[in-house]
Amino acid sequence: MVDIVRPQHRLACRRSLVICILAAIIVTGLQLAPAKRLNVADTFWNSGSSDYGLIAKSIVSGTGFALDGNTPTAHRPPLYPLFLSILLHVSDSAQLIVWTQSLLAGLTVGILGFLAILVTEREWAAILVLLQYLTMQDIIFENTQQRETGLFSFFLICSALLFVLAAKSRSTPKVLSLGICLGLLCLARPYAMVICPVLLVWLVVMTQNGLTRRQMLSQSIVLVSGFLFTLLPWGLWNTINLGQFTMTSTTTGLNIWKGNNPATDVLYPSLDVDVMDELVIGDQPSGDGWWNDIAGVEQMSEVERDRLLLKLAVKYMTEAPVRFIRMGVVKLYALWTPKSVPFGTGKVEWTSTGAQIVDFHPNGSRPLVYIFLYFLMGVGIWRLRASPIVPYLIAWILFCSAVHFVTFGETRFRWPINLLSLPVSSAGAVWLLERGLVAVSVVSGRRNVPQ
């Protein structure tokens, strides 16, 4: 029997598509406006994380994936440097990169709008996504910087859409696409410890969909295969060039060390933990101090350095477990607080037992935006508790929290998850607005109100 799509349903689909496209165009334009006004393209290579640009330029020059133009590196996951190198092949101006990242931000919001319509069955939920996004000025600015945030956010939102669609249709191509998308997320940001447990959430959702064990096993194999085969080329490249199989980067030890060394509880979350990089590259104070543990680290290979820093981090954590747990709570606060972290800028004076901050200047912050977003997200989670997007969102919140409990948390690490929450918070806003209309209608004696 041929399914007949009703005309009104086709019209609704077209309206939804138009709304999402318009949202994408608006966001792209609004991204470009401040970028042009602030001449972001002129300062792009000095913004964000300069390592990405160094690797990208090395790729373009033909010397391969290297920081120094010669030595192979896995200091950064490959996706964003490859993204930059492709654009540099087209034009050596950073203007094209800023334009492309702005377009990517627009596409991300367009997909978020479609996802909001899908889970709420309200076309105007996409407009609520757009309005919420426009309040996030810090994310808008981040999307014009030399960081992987925008690329990671795009694939995270794509993965959420695929997760919801695959859970509803049980389509093998969608499940495979989801696995590939999760693999690309690992290649954009070293989050394998987050994404691997997220794969288990798929099994939980599938058990609620009435699949047989054989069907669950088949789809799980497809999902994991897509995930692993996406990561495998990078893992093999690292094995050949670095002598170590890793599917993310060689900064695991560095990040855990930054979050747990003797100076962490003084510097963090007031300052960016990257101020500790000077110790790792060999710019250490004279005399004896806790930095003696990393003496000569700058002469090691990046694999050896990462192993040493991981070993030291584990030592610090096991020697002071209470401090580790206390700092873990601080890290979770720093990750999810509506305030901007790091809290400011300043200079560091290293001491033999830690450090101290001098000449501290606090940063500005707009906490009300995220307080309101968190409130709407809470309402939306309750309203959409039967939708696959809720366990997916909660899984990302929980597993990211677990990773940053051990490493360190900053505001920019939660921004992609803030974006992921927009369809859910839009559902909360839809429910509140419609309940408000009901209340007004009851008071005014009207009967035709949204159900």
Residue-level pLDDT at 442: 67
Q: Minimal CA–CA distance to 99: which of 165, 54, 35? A: 35
355 phi/psi in degrees, rounded to 5: -165, 170
Distances (CA, A) of 276 to 263, 332, 348, 351: 9, 20, 9, 13
Residue-level pLDDT at 4: 40
Contacts of residue 208, defined as CB under 8 A and 6 or more positions apart, other chains included, come to none
Query: Is the pLDDT at 80 greater than 60, yes or no?
Result: yes
Query: Is the pLDDT at 65 greater than 80, yes or no?
Result: yes
Distances (CA, A) of 10 to 2, 6, 15, 16, 127: 16, 6, 9, 10, 20
Alpha-carbon gap, residue 223 to 179, rounded angstroms: 5
Question: Which residues make beta-bridge pairs with 322?
Answer: none
pLDDT level of residue 11 (50, 70, 90 thresholds): low
Q: Tell me: the pLDDT tens digits for 425-441?
A: 999 999 999 887 666 66
Distances (CA, A) of 382 to 59, 76, 388: 47, 38, 13
Residue-level pLDDT at 73: 95
Q: What is the mean pLDDT of residues 170-199?
A: 88
Please provide the average confidence, as pLDDT, over all residues in the chain. Answer: 89
Of residues 133 and 282, more confidence is placed in: 133
Residue-level pLDDT at 5: 41
CA pseudo-torsion sign 35, 41, 47, 53: positive
Q: Residues 110, 413, 189, CA angle at the centre, nearest 5°? A: 80
Q: Residues 224, 80, 252, CA angle at the centre, nearest 5°? A: 65
Residue-level pLDDT at 443: 67
pLDDT level of residue 2 (50, 70, 90 thresholds): very low
Q: Tell me: the pLDDT tens digits for 240-289?
A: 999 988 888 999 999 999 999 999 999 999 999 999 998 998 788 888 99
Query: Is the pLDDT at 146 greater than 90, yes or no?
Result: yes
Alpha-carbon gap, residue 39 to 399, rounded angstroms: 37
Query: Do residues 429 and 374 lie in contact, with contact meaning Cβ atoms separated by under 8 Å?
Result: no
Query: Is the pLDDT at 319 greater than 90, yes or no?
Result: yes
Give the pTM: 0.92
Q: Locate tokens 């990750």: which residue?
A: 335
Query: Is the pLDDT at 58 greater than 90, yes or no?
Result: yes
Q: What is the mean pLDDT of residues 68-79?
A: 93
Of residues 447 and 87, more confidence is placed in: 87
> What distance, in Å, lies between the first and last C-alpha atoms of the chain?
33
Contacts of residue 162, defined as CB under 8 A and 6 or more positions apart, other chains included, come to 174, 177, 178, 181
Residue-level pLDDT at 449: 47
Q: What is the mean pLDDT of residues 298-320?
A: 94
Query: Is the pLDDT at 134 greater than 60, yes or no?
Result: yes
SS3 of 337-401: the string is CCCCCCCEEEEEEEECCEEEEEEEEECCCCHHHHHHHHHHHHHHHHHCCCCCHHHHHHHHHHHHH
Q: Tell me: the pLDDT tens digits for 349-373?
A: 999 999 999 999 998 878 999 999 9
Residue-level pLDDT at 284: 86
Residue 269, preceding peptide bond in cis (omega within 30° of 0): yes
Query: Is the pLDDT at 1 greater than 50, yes or no?
Result: no
Alpha-carbon gap, residue 127 to 83, rounded angstroms: 30
